Amino acid sequence: MTDTILSPSAPLWQEAMSASGDSRGHRGRPDWTDVAFFLALVVGAGVALSQFSQSMDYYEKLILCGAVPGLAWMAWLWRPLRTLMIAAGASALFAIWLYSGGQGLAQGDITRAENVFFLKYLFSSQSAILWMCSLFVLAMVCYWIGFVSKTAAWLGTVLTWSAVYAGVTGMLVRWREGHLLGPDIGHIPVSNLYEVFVLFALITALFYLYYERRYATRALGGFVLLVISSAVVFLLWYSFTRDAFQIQPLVPALKSWWMKLHVPANFIGYGTFSLSAMVGFAYLVKENGQTRSLAKLIPLFVLGAILCAEPMVFGSRELSATWMLYFGIGAIIVGAILAFRGPIASKLPSLEILDDIMYRAIAVGFAFFTVATILGALWAADAWGTYWQWDPKETWALIVWLNYAAWLHMRLMKGLRGTMAAYWALIGLVITSFAFLGVNMFLSGLHSYGEL
């Protein structure tokens, strides 16, 4: 298989959807439902400003107002987001009402989380996020069963959407819970490893669901849900061994409105880079579906095993039974995928489509990661008086940026495609994972407030 694939004249996603009889990729002009949704967002923002203005500063109010047209535009681009936002928003409001005891949304008692049935088992932030974790793992299992059963694959999609709904609801409720704990505790839930792991899982899943719908294929679900399930395992371990799910006041360095922009943009990059790596893995499985040469599979297995070992390395300075078991199961899964590469490859989309998804994911991630890096520099100037100090986190963020800048340069200027691009995307996930977690574990610096 050559490393160069010629692009067809028509977009690959349109070909894929047309072949399946699916016309959902055509957005059309905004209709009355889009206008109604925009007005609903305006009303929601108005309620938030009237009920919770005392908890928001000037910048937060500005961000809230700016989010209304932004969310409406995103929901028009991809209509399933509209359903997600309505469902998660309604559930979060229901939870906030339960916390208030019917005395008004601005009131609330955090201790009701242990006494009210719906809060205790469904809609408190911790309950909703635990549901998210369970549903993601179940979705991964269904996607893999989906290689022999279309019903299971469909169920994988349903469970993934359900997990995203639970996670978004949990994050919104957690935001309110922080304010119920105290006026100086409440903050947007993107400030520590627990919260950003939830954010990472949600962003990666949403981008996958977008590409699943756009390319009319569910065959990639099992691959992408592997990396999300890995994040879930780490999240659960981190939650219950460090009590990380507890809401804590922000450290002084994080008390900035820059955080509300920098962190989400950063994790859009992390999520799409991870998605591209798993699509790259699928590409290599597809490419080697009929090969009998073990020599070609050894590098792929070794790279997969390294990725499986990363959470074990970052999880503890000492080897534990938990992470040894995780590594063993992960290596077995990678080996099983390679062992059954033939039937798996037959169900995967064409190499051209896989290559196209990989490129688009990296392009989107690179754009947002670039914005996040610029925002981080502005935040540093505001907090520390200088844009760049070669802090370990800053240095590794630059390494990640240079890695994907080189990938895109080689693709656009030198025609990088296929095998080399896929291996590079997988190696990029190793680099990104170290920037995400390894720096917090092994290096200290100005970002040490995020250490394990």
**100, 101, 102, 105 alpha-carbon torsion, rounded to 10°:** 0
Q: How far is CA 47 from CA 35, 59, 286, 411, in A?
A: 18, 17, 51, 48
3-class SS of residue 356: helix
- Which of 323, 281, 283, 321 lies closest to 301 in space, CA to CA? 281
Q: Rounded to 10 degrees, what is the CA torsion of 365, 368, 370, 374?
A: -160
pLDDT for res 389: 82
Kindly give, in sequence order, each residue whose CB lies less than 8 Å from that of residue 235, ignoring residues fewer than 6 positions away.
133, 194, 197, 198, 201
Q: Is 346 left (phi over 0), alpha (psi -120 to 50) or beta?
A: alpha
H helices of 182-258, in order, are 193-214, 221-242
**pLDDT value for 21:** 44
pLDDT at 300: 66
Backbone angles phi, psi at 20, to 5 degrees: -95, 5
Q: Which amino acid is at 179?
A: H
**What is each CA distance from 41 to 44, 89, 175, in whole angstroms?**
5, 10, 18
The single-letter code of the amino acid at 40 is A
Q: What is the rounded CA–CA span in Å between residue 51 and residue 31?
A: 31
Number of residues in the chain: 452
List the pLDDT tens digit at each of the 452 positions of the chain: 334 333 444 465 555 555 444 444 456 688 889 999 999 999 989 988 888 888 787 878 888 899 999 999 999 999 999 999 999 999 999 999 999 987 877 788 899 999 999 999 999 999 999 999 999 999 999 999 999 999 999 999 999 999 999 999 999 999 999 989 887 788 889 888 899 999 999 999 999 999 999 999 999 999 999 999 989 988 998 888 888 888 888 887 777 878 888 999 999 999 999 999 999 999 999 998 877 665 566 676 666 666 666 555 555 555 667 777 777 788 888 888 888 889 999 999 999 999 999 999 999 999 999 999 999 888 888 877 788 888 888 888 999 999 999 999 999 998 888 889 999 999 999 899 888 877 766 655 555 545 55
Q: Which residue has the tokens 């061994």?
A: 241
In this structure, are residues 200 and 267 in contact, taking their beta carbons and an 8 Å threshold?
Answer: yes
Burial level of 103, CB count in 10 A (0-12/13-18/19+)?
exposed
Q: What share of the chain is helix, strand, coil (3-state, %, to 5)?
A: 75, 0, 25
Q: In this structure, what token pair is assigned to residue 67? A: 């989010």
pLDDT confidence of residue 253: 74
Q: What gap in Å lies between CA 369 and CA 229, rounded to an integer? A: 23
**C-alpha to C-alpha distance for 39 and 114, rounded to whole angstroms:** 35
Question: What DSSP letter does each residue of 12-64 carry, written as one string?
Answer: HHHHHHHHTT--TT---S--HHHHHHHHHHHHHHHHHHHHHGGG--HHHHHHH
Most distant CA atoms of the chain, gap in Å = 69
Query: Is 160 within 8 Å of 221 (Cβ atoms)?
Result: yes
Alpha helices by DSSP H, listed for 243-350, are 259-287, 294-315, 321-339, 341-347
**Which SS3 state, helix, strand or coil, does residue 305 take?**
helix
Is residue 354 within 8 A of residue 289, CB to CB? The reply is no
Predicted pLDDT of residue 338: 85
CA angle centred on 353, ends 348 and 358, rounded to 5°: 100
Instruction: Report residue 418 as tokens.
Output: 């296929």
Distance CA 153, CA 261 (A): 35
Q: Quick one: tokens of 441?
A: 């574990």
CA-to-CA dists, residue 297 to 291, 304, 423, angstroms: 9, 11, 12
